[in-house]
Structure 1
Amino acid sequence: MKNIVGLILATVCLTGAISAQATTSAQLVVRGTITPAACNLSLAGSGIIDYGTIRSGELSQAAFNPREERSTSLVVNCGATPARFGISFTDLQAGSKVAGILGSGFSEAQNFGLGAVGGRRTGGYSITLRDLRTSGIALYPIMRSGAGAWQSSDGKVAQSPNQYSWRNATILAPASINQLSGTIAIKAVINRAQNLDLSRDISIDGRATLVLSYI
């Protein structure tokens, strides 16, 4: 009989301990989301640079064939909230790059491909950032490789992992701005005619992706 009583008492005590623990503690959760400024990037004319029709007879057989520079407008709008951001460029035709086609003053990282037809590479092009401004104030391009230190830039664009931003002072750091406007200048260079199959139409097909990242 004593054994049964003792078992009942132990059960009552255990139940009391659980009840006390459940009523003397609770969890507080604080929630929310912090979002970056909603910046929109756009290129005039849907970002299309059209060189039109190029006659094969215009092309040099033995030398690279630079074409005239063309451009489009770049706009980034962050609304009422200033932001620090940068842009990287990825060449979607990197496999068609023609080494050395841009000439002196350019690196191979700044050489973007123009596609290939029949296994023959069409050429290359360069991208240069110019006339960067915010609310009428001049900005100056800066760049970094990956997560490295920011450096001055002449505006010539190298492919990702290089990233480009802009400063408004002597300090090499991205400026916090609401709006950016500027020019993207493109200069295409067609391959030597002897390296192309001129028995067919050759499409100039350069494609690159611009990615805006908050800093």
Structure 2
Amino acid sequence: MKKNMLGLTIGTLCLVASIGAHATTAAELIVRGTIKPVACNLTLGGGGIVDYQIINPASLSATQFNPLAAKLVSLTVSCGQAPAKFGLKLSDMQADSKVVGVLGAGFTEAQNFGLGIDNHKRTGGYSVTLKNLRSSNGALSPLMRVGTAGSWQRSDGKIAQNPSQYSWGSGNSVVPASITLLNGTLEVKAVINRTQDLDLTSDVTLDGRARLELSYI
């Protein structure tokens, strides 16, 4: 290794000396710059925590899935003064706890997020729906596509897990709008598993966790 390094050093010195011995007939032009994405900030109301607090097991069915009341979380994306096209992806961090069919009619399994596992039992699932989307220019309609190469289409706002991507357009447009500020709501609705499939000999904790990721498009 030392011999190789020494040989490289000598070769370089010889090359420099050789160039210095002749007139300079060429120069290097360097073009520099930085393409910097717009800095957008994503904020969820209440720190993104949806708390159902204490749930009385006597209010739950042993043989049917148990939907809870919907909870609303404010969503804000601010991009300063520079308009940008951006979208959202939601990844389920408790996907292995999913209870198939727990959301009922009108939802797909891709829209079913797991509520965690407690005492080796799957506690249920929840859905997330985009609502009340607005920019400084007015109301926006939710859009979605699968992956980053699919075609945009109108959406009912129900969020499916990554790789589905969500954005918003003006009016009936299926082209994402370029905006500086987005205000909206995430409607979260949890559904608890049948109590016959839970271990109620001790406390059961709902533990749904998902990662919301902002991306530029």
Normalising by structure 1, we get a TM-score of: 0.90
User: Could you list the per-position Cα deviations for residues 88-111 of structure 1 after superposition, in whole angstroms to 9, with x for gaps in the alignment?
Assistant: 000000000000000010000000
> How far is the alpha carbon of 1:31 from its aligned partner?
1.0
Where do 4+ consecutive residues of structure 1 move more than 2 Å? 15-21
Match of 1:153 in 2: 155
Which is higher, the Rg of structure 1 or of structure 2?
A: 1
Residue 18 and residue 65 in structure 1: after superposition, are their counterparts in 2 closer, same or farther (change >3 A)?
Answer: same
RMSD, matched Cα:
1.4
SS in 1 for 2:77: strand
> How far is the alpha carbon of 1:20 from its aligned partner?
3.9
Structure 2 matches for 1:98-109, cutoff 5 A? 98-109=99-110
Match of 2:195 in 1: 193
SS in 2 for 1:139: strand
Match of 1:92 in 2: 93
> How far is the alpha carbon of 1:17 from its aligned partner?
8.4
Match of 1:47 in 2: 48
Match of 1:8 in 2: none
Equivalent-residue separation in structure 2 for 1:24 and 1:140 (angstroms): 61
Mind listing any 5+ residue stretches in structure 2 that lack a counterpart?
1-16
> How far is the alpha carbon of 1:28 from its aligned partner?
1.2
SS in 2 for 1:160: coil
Equivalent-residue separation in structure 2 for 1:18 and 1:37 (angstroms): 46
Match of 2:32 in 1: 31
Match of 2:8 in 1: none
Structure 2 matches for 1:31-180, cutoff 5 A? 31-135=32-136, 137-146=138-147, 147-180=149-182
Contact kept, 8 Å, 2:141 with 2:172, in 1: the verdict is no
Equivalent-residue separation in structure 2 for 1:46 and 1:83 (angstroms): 24
User: Could you list the per-position Cα deviations for residues 63-116 of structure 1 after superposition, in whole angstroms to 9, with x for gaps in the alignment?
Assistant: 000000111100000000000000000000000000000001000000000000
SS in 1 for 2:69: strand
Identity of aligned residues (%): 56
SS in 1 for 2:36: coil
Match of 2:183 in 1: 181
Mind listing any 5+ residue stretches in structure 1 that lack a counterpart?
1-14
Match of 1:9 in 2: none
Letter in 1 for 2:76: V
Letter in 2 for 1:120: K
Residue 25 and residue 50 in structure 1: after superposition, are their counterparts in 2 closer, same or farther (change >3 A)?
Answer: same
Letter in 1 for 2:80: G
SS in 1 for 2:68: strand
Match of 1:209 in 2: 211
> How far is the alpha carbon of 1:16 from its aligned partner?
8.6
User: Could you list the per-position Cα deviations for residues 120-142 of structure 1 after superposition, in whole angstroms to 9, with x for gaps in the alignment?
Assistant: 00000000000000015000000
Match of 2:12 in 1: none
Equivalent-residue separation in structure 2 for 1:158 and 1:129 (angstroms): 11
Equivalent-residue separation in structure 1 for 2:132 and 2:145 (angstroms): 20
Normalising by structure 2, we get a TM-score of: 0.89
